[in-house]
Structure 1
Amino acid sequence: MNSVVKKISLFQGLAVAIILILAIISITFVVRNSIVSDIQDDFQQRVKDVRSTFEVLNESIVQSAKSASNVLSSKISNIEIDYSKTIEINSVRTPILISNGEIINKNNDLVDEFTKTIGAVATIFVKQDNDFFRIATSLQKADGSRAMGTFLTNKSPAFDKVMNKEKYIGSAKLFGKNYMTVYDPIIKNGEVIGILFIGYNFDSLYSILEQNLGKIKFGESGYLFTLDSKESQFTMHPTLKNKKIEDLSDINNQNIFKNIINQKEGVIIYDYNEENKKNKKITAYTSFDDWNLIIATNANLDELLHLNSILKKYLIFGGIGLIIILLSISYFIIIKVVNTPLVSINNGLSDFFDYLNREKNEVNLININSKDEFGKMARVLNQNIERTKKGIEEDRKLIDETINVLGEFEQGDLCQRLNISVSNPALMELKNVVNNMANNIETNIDIVLNTLEKYSNHNYLNKIATNGLKEHLLKLANGVNYLGESITAILVENKSNGLTLEDSSNVLLANVDKLNISSNEAAASLEETAAALEEMTSNIRNSTENIVKMARYSNEVTSSSKEGENLANQTTIAMDEINKQVNAINEAISVIDQIAFQTNILSLNAAVEAATAGEAGKGFAVVAQEVRNLAARSAEAAKEIKTIVENATRKADDGKEIANNMINGYVKLNENITNTINLIKDVEMSSKEQLLGIEQINDAITRLDQQTQQNAQIASQTQEVAVITDEIAKLVVSNANAKEFVGKNEVEAKKDFILNSKKLTKTLITKETKTNKKISTEKINDNEWEAF
């Protein structure tokens, strides 16, 4: 230790040892972080690739569900609803829903036939208050019974879209099975009256996908698993399948998976408690919302960092050995220049790790040409760097070519193939699988395209052979074949309908001509009738006005008669009062006559007494004589007055009798006038009622005239429509004959329809003819008019 060289060697050895220890720690830390970062990126990318697989499968299932929904819509069409009639289902009165004249309520034949043909389940809902009610279904519950007679409430995710007259497509789990559902609203007169529902079961496809995904490994014990985000349940897992998160025994594990569901996407490293032992786990996860799934990877981080552990051990042991070597040969290290080789090695390793971490696209070799350990190390490192670089570049080229080819596949170009060969057996197997898959798909797609090209040229005679096809290719071939059969059936029906329409249009055209002529004649006759009724109405209106005037004059005569009767009554009363006064005068005259008689008696007595008195009574005798004369004059005057009063009484009695006769006459006159007025009122009332009736008849004739004019115009327009219909029928038959399909030459018109049309048209023409001859209240049945 007294030697400076030894001290320097020792100090340099210690310094190098410290540097190596720090380098080992740093390299281990950097490499670990780099590996962890690469693992995180790789796991995240792989889980996204798995999600892409789910998305492709989901799109295929959605397309199948849409196709099935279109088939159901084509089978159940011309839908009508009758709210006036109901059918009871599970104690609920549902309005009758009719498709092509057939009642759907409780009728499961249509949906069963659809399920048997297509394989998807179907349900028909009818609008019931604010919900929808199942009236026919092929969907079965877990116990095998039909899921009919239940409501689709506004809590369903499909409810709002259906009420907005939009189609809803989404996955759902029904009675333990996975379905891709399509809710297609039934719209009538701008309102949603029901729903056509189909459910496409994709459990088998999901099982196949689950089996294939279960084979994926991450490290030695890593695996792929999925979570149902709504049910918080494992749907795919090696040991926890169909188990809920809440059922896990460890609370920490529960919180980890709950956070994964809440965050939906990311990468986490955590301690997982398993069998009383903690394992460091890494999980990358992402969400697939269409199926409410969380797709996640799970791997043991220590397994993935095994290479780092080995590298750490190698670095430690290598460092220890290097320290011993450096301590033993420190003298030579001091003498010789060691800085340059170490720097070159360090730079080469750093450059190599940057290349491994994809921070650089190229790597530089370590430039050491010495034959010592540094030179050998450099050569070994350079050889491994070149070998690693070559393998990585080959793999990258094949991967890049695979990405390009798959990108072309995605755009629809199936002619591209992988041509690069690499030394990696797994990648070569992937290359062969991709090329074989492309060949198979391209061949079958070409067959389908050739068949569809023939279909586009209106040749529907060819079929696609289904031997050796499975799953989607088999469904595609069957779908194209079914398309050809469906188009053939449509063409047969079109030609048959065209022939039927052609025959019916000829009958309709001839009868519409007759109807047009009859309508015009009826319109002319009604115009003449309306004019005659108008003149009659005017005459009756004038007569009614005259009768009203007579009634007014009669009322005035009645007033005058009543006034004369009142005056006669007053005259009678006045005569009675005159008689009373005359009687009073007679009584007074009787008194005067008695007074005159007594005065005369007194004057006689006075004359006797005067004669008895002699001379002394002469003067008294003169007075008595004068009194007797005055009494005589009074008696005579009273007699004359009495005679006059008797005459006045007699005249008053005659006047009273005449007044009574006048009263009786006025009474009879009033009675006659009253009877006359009543008769005039009856005539007036009858005239008004007759005028009102005539005016109503006139209005009815006017309306009937307008309707007849409209009928004549409609008949004219119907004739034009019949001509156009005849031309369309000929065009339909011509277009059908221009296409090649099975049974084209055997198609005939529907004879029963033509016969019924002729009978109905004959009935209508007969009724129209009767109407033209005589105005009748007979109405033609509404169904006959609609059919006509």
Structure 2
Amino acid sequence: MKTKDTTHLPKKKGNMSLSQRLSLMLGILGFFIILILSYAIVDMGSQSTKKNLDKNMDDMLSLTGAKTSDILGEITTLSGNMKEAISFVWDQNDAIGGVPGNPWTIVSKDGDNLIPQTISPMSGTTFRSRIIDRAVPASRYNLEVVMMDTMYATIQSNPHVTGIGYFFEPNKVIDGVTDFAPYMTFQSVKSRNIINYPYSYYKDKDYYTTAKETLKPTITSAYTLDEDPSKTVITICDPIVDKNDFKGVITIELDLAAFDVLKHADSRFPSLFTSVMDDSGNFMFVSNEALKGKNLSAAVDKDGVQKIQEKMKEGKSFHMEITNTSGVKRRVYLAPTAFGNTTWWSLMSIASSDYQAVTNRLITTASLIGLLGTLLLIVCTYFLVKKNLDPLKKIAGVGDKVADGNLNVEVKYNKQDEIGHLADSFKKVTFRIKEIISDLNEKLASIAGGDFRVDLSDETKYPGDYKPLLLALRDITTDLSNTMTEIKNSAEEVNGGAEQVSSSAQALSQGATEQASSIQELGATMNDISAKIKSTADQSVEANQLSMAAGHAVETSNQKMREMSTAMQEITDKSNEISKIIKTIDDIAFQTNILSLNAAIEAARAGEAGKGFAVVADEVGNLAQKSAKAAQNTSNLIEETINAVERGAKISRETADSMEEVKVKTKSISDIIEKITKASEEEAEGIRQLTVGADQISSVVQTNSATAEESAAASEELSGQANIMNELVSKFQVIERED
């Protein structure tokens, strides 16, 4: 007969082979190692590339700044030469028509010796100015010649110089001459015209006032020529100073096309952008034609302009990432170039996408190499692992047969490695299991026949973790033997106990019947007590309501007494006011009496003519006396009234105090009645619960009576079953217990 196997192993997840898992795990591990190495290489390469790129851009920016300085330096050199060419005149003070001075000494050279030559001086000559309509000294005439020749030569030899001139202060060149500012343009040179600007034209211009105040060169913002709108120019203003005395300025108008040499091109960065701007952000030069003559704000968004301007305040080179007005992120590089009072900034910019392109290519290349390396590692690892783990498949097949109960298997593997050791161990395990199964089969057959006295003392066949099998079988045999012995003893004891239970059950049934009768009588008594307590509680509630009504009546009486006391106080206040009025009337009567006396005296003095007036005075005096008497009587009555009111107020207060005491006592009575009511209700509830409990006890007693009768019948049945059990247990051969 087959028995159902209940030792199911948990279902294993996954169907990948060991070689596949190892290959995958090694591949994943290799992938992460390659990924980390690639990341490190890419990061270092990216940092190095960015540093090199930033350095490259900084070098290009430095070159741009150097070229800008060279261009401005050439102009400064021109203006310096022009100042030096006219410096001779400031020490010459010859008069009009006088002999021209000669600051030079002519010498001849004899070997290493210089021998002065004698030159006959010119005779006095009157010169007329070429710029203003008047005679001038010879030195000033020579000055004009030098200035005009210098301006002409400068424009002719410098195609980007569109205008040049000397702007002088009044009376600094020729006494009495206010307007002396010769100026040439590239167009006036062709027509041989010279412009002489009045002093009022330039005296308040920023470029002139700044140069005058600082005595340093200054540069204007870019502007368009009126004569040729296609040209955008700047004016460089260089002060003329002799012995700290400001004479005027040399102005050179420079076409911004001179800065076209600053334009850079790099095939790696098609978005490269080059410009030069002043410290206000106005473009002096810009490689983008659309931005010529515009401000930085036309190319960069508001936030970017603010960031750039804040960094420009530091006066040092810097670079940052900004967003242009089209929403494209760009990387900008700026470096300052100082010129006199002005600082220009060289600016180069590339799109952030171009900046990141090299790094992105490096990341892409590293990613592809890492991916291909990982795939190659997985494939190679798979084939190598698979080849070395194939013997394990055979051993696993043998293990499956053993798991299915087939121990007649053979493991073939001849190499002395880990797998060979595993195969030998598998053989030993199979042999040991077969030996143990044979021994267990023999012992269990004896136990199955009812003989628990089988010998289980030999432990040599159960080494290590197999020993618990023998110990468990030994414990089972001992426990079964003891259990059978105890069952036999218990059956005998159950038989005797069943007879005693039957006798006790009959006695219990009789007692339960008597208890049920007593409980019914107790329930009737409890119901009667409950009815009387409920009646007492109802009467207490009615008394409590009457007490509360009495309390409300006392409260109402107190309120009325307070209102009466308030009214008496108002009567007292009004009486006091009437007393004041009567006092006033009394004072008036007194004054009237005095007036009547004065009138009588005056009438007596008047003699016969005052008799009629004397009669009137007597009547007025009589009326005053009557008024005073009436006022006195009224005052007495009011005083008596006030005294009466005060006595009434005192009585009302005493009455109110008595009523308040009655109220307090009534409240105490009400509280006591309420407590009695609550106590009565609680007693009624307690009696009700006692009644319910008595009913439950009665029910339980009746149930016990029925149960006792059933127990007697069951005891007789139990005695019969105990006899049957004794017969069955006697068939087993148990181990004799040692005392």
TM, length-normalised to structure 2: 0.37
Q: RCO higher in 1 or 2 (8 Å CA, sep ≥ 6)?
A: 2
TM, length-normalised to structure 1: 0.35
In our comparison, the structure showing a higher alpha carbon Rg is 2
